[in-house]
Amino acid sequence: MDYVLVHQPSATVQKFILRAAAKRRFTVLIATEAPRASSDEPPYAHFRKKLSAVGISSINVMNAGLMAHMPRINKVVLGARSVLANGGVVTDAGAGIIARAAKERGTSVIVLSGVYKL
């Protein structure tokens, strides 16, 4: 079983994961920050419902406990807010730490962005 980590998935990342789910089976780990206020719904509950509808299991992981899960993660998928001229990307806070942890473990990191963000 493959494990794919997504960090605060944008709409682009969500569409990518749902399209990949049509051809493969994997588990999605959704890395989020700790909620600031108690709410009835966990973060990205709508995305989790879509994943379960297509037969993909998902696990919510807090950023603080992410390193414990890194040994089993096969791919990391991040969404970019913008792509810079030198090839760098601007992402959500915390994505840099995840990318560095993936690099240390030799895990592939995929960054998704719309063409309009270039």
Q: Which of 90, 84, 82, 88 is nearest to 113 (CA)?
A: 82
How do residues 50-96 score in pLDDT, each as one tens digit? 999 999 999 999 888 888 899 999 999 999 999 998 988 999 888 99
Is the pLDDT at 5 greater than 70, yes or no? yes
Domain with residue 112: its CATH number is 3.40.50.10470
**Number of domains comprising the chain:** 1
Long-range contacts of 57-62 (CB under 8 A, 24+ apart): 57/27, 57/28, 58/27, 58/28, 58/29, 58/30, 59/27, 59/28, 59/29, 59/30, 60/30, 60/32, 61/5, 61/29, 61/30, 61/31, 61/32, 62/31, 62/32, 62/33, 62/34
Domain extent, residue 86, equals 2-35+43-117
Per-residue pLDDT, 66: 86
